[in-house]
Amino acid sequence: MKVAFHTLGCKVNQYETEAIRHQFANAGHEIVKEDDFANVYIINTCTVTNLADRKSRQFIRKSKKINPEAIVAVTGCYAQMKPWEVAEIDGVEIVIGTDEKNNLLKKVEEYFETGDKASVIKDYSQLTEYEDLGVIEAMESKSRAFVKIQEGCNRFCSYCIIPYARGKVRSRDRKDILEEARLLVGKGHKEIVLTGINTALYGEEKGDLKIVELLKELDEIPGDFRVRLSSLEPTVIDAKYVKKLFGCRRLCHHLHLSVQSGSDKVLAEMNRGYSRKDYLEIVEVLREHDFLYGITTDIIVGFPGETEEDFSDSLDIVEKAGFSKVHAFKYSRRTGTLAASRDDQISGVIKNDRVHQLMNMAEKAREEFNAKSIGKSTRALIEQIENGFAAGYTDNYTKVYIDCEEKNFKLNEFYSVKLIGNYKDGMMAEVEK
């Protein structure tokens, strides 16, 4: 069979698609690109916002247009939360929840033999065991490789549907994580990105946070590679805990710390469990350690009841924290969450206006952060060579562009560079002699 995959949403989904892709390839099926003609289309969906649901539906329909005879199998968070809605889409034969991805191959092969449609969705209360999807030996991307370390979240932020879609906190076996990282480094990957639904909670169900211990074990793997955390929730870690990370030598000087709002009132209503002061203390500790520590974040605008004053606190925290990148989201009402039932929802017009203001402030913060980096020397991992530029990321997650006339660049290689100025969504750099 020719099998094509499409992934929506987060890095966990990207990792899981990769694992399923391996299972199909190992079973002898031919893997083709997502827009190519295939006998099977596997769509790994997302439900974090209404827009994610809509995009998931669009991709399901698009696949059927490429080959109306193809089998369409849908998995991921949208399939978990609204399996009936997915099953009603014309041409969907298989619906698999977030905890049953190991069933995809079997169900697709069975459908070819029997023509039996399948729907395998566990109830939220049954999402308690880590589903082992096997150890991946190489990723599609040559440089960055994702390694999943945990599943689920038990924080129940009042706007977030993810704990219902992903279930309880459960951590992957440490041996499997280390083996996968070792294999990926051995295959030439230069950056290991640890992913999870809430990576900070790794090991918590066994009584303690274990992320630092894991990072120290990754330090021991031989090879020239670095480690990045896809995100770290300030709902779990604080300034004191963050200091422990400084002993992990391969860990990039970059953290994605979702602040979500700069207003204490909104943070409390979101059930985030920290204040803006707590958050800014983490920022201070990181910047004391390295004044160019890259801090990226997510901010939601238009949470129910968000006043102009609350919103200006969010603008203010962008400036104070000096984020190098902000992902700005308009609040999206997710049925079943506490915030969705509130009657003080914010209008779309206000949300649009606030998201634009926030993006402008974020751009200003990024330029200011970059200005502090001018003249600094660092290493960049080249991930792309096109239009006369080699592009990649530094350790602190600044995107750099280098003129190809400078050198015959190779993909997936580290280069020592000097940062010379703002450019597009990152900085222009030159190779150090």
Whether 408 contacts 425, CB under 8 Å: no
Own/partner long-range contacts of 117-121 (Cβ < 8 Å, ≥24 apart):
117/93, 118/93, 118/94, 119/83, 119/87, 119/94, 119/95, 120/95, 120/96, 121/79, 121/80, 121/83, 121/95, 121/96, 121/97
CB of 63 to ligand SF4, least distance (A): 28
- Give the interface size with ligand SF4 as a residue count (CB under 6 A): 11
Q: Give every strand in the sheet of 2-7, ordered side by side.
A: 30-32, 2-7, 40-45, 71-76, 92-96, 118-120
CB-wise, 184 or 270, nearer to ligand SF4?
270
Nearest to 432 by CA among 405, 406, 398, 413: 406
CB of 163 to ligand SF4, least distance (A): 5
77 binds ligand SF4 (CB under 6 A): no
Which of 160, 214, 215, 300 binds ligand SF4 (CB under 6 A)? It is 160
63 binds ligand SF4 (CB under 6 A): no
Q: Which two tokens stand for residue 316?
A: 């203010």
Instruction: Find the part of the chain contacting ligand SF4 (CB under 6 A) among 76-84, 142-150, 158-166, 280-288.
Output: 158-166
Distance of CA 357 to the CA centre of its chain: 24
336 binds ligand SF4 (CB under 6 A): no
CB of 166 to ligand SF4, least distance (A): 8
CB of 130 to ligand SF4, least distance (A): 16
CB of 160 to ligand SF4, least distance (A): 3
Counting Cβ atoms within 10 Å, is residue 176 exposed (0-12), middle (13-18) or buried (19+)?
middle
153 binds ligand SF4 (CB under 6 A): yes
Q: Name beta bridge partners: 425.
A: none
163 binds ligand SF4 (CB under 6 A): yes
Q: Name beta bridge partners: 397.
A: none
Which of 93, 180, 191, 233 binds ligand SF4 (CB under 6 A)? It is 233
CB of 257 to ligand SF4, least distance (A): 11
Measured CA to CA, the distance from residue 8 to residue 238 in angstroms comes to 30
CB-wise, 56 or 261, nearer to ligand SF4?
261
Structural element, H or E, at residue 312: helix 308-321
Instruction: Find the part of the chain contacting ligand SF4 (CB under 6 A) among 31-39, 49-57, 157-165, 325-333.
Output: 157-165
Instruction: Find the part of the chain contacting ligand SF4 (CB under 6 A) among 5-13, 83-91, 152-160, 309-317.
Output: 152-160
Q: What is the DSSP string of 298-311?
A: EEEE--TT--HHHH
Which of 157, 245, 326, 358 binds ligand SF4 (CB under 6 A)? It is 157
- Residue 125, CA distances (Å) to 45, 63, 164, 165, 169 in order: 21, 32, 9, 10, 12
47 binds ligand SF4 (CB under 6 A): no
Which of 197, 390, 391, 419 binds ligand SF4 (CB under 6 A)? It is 197
Residues that bind ligand SF4 (CB under 6 A): 153, 155-157, 160, 162-163, 197-198, 233, 235
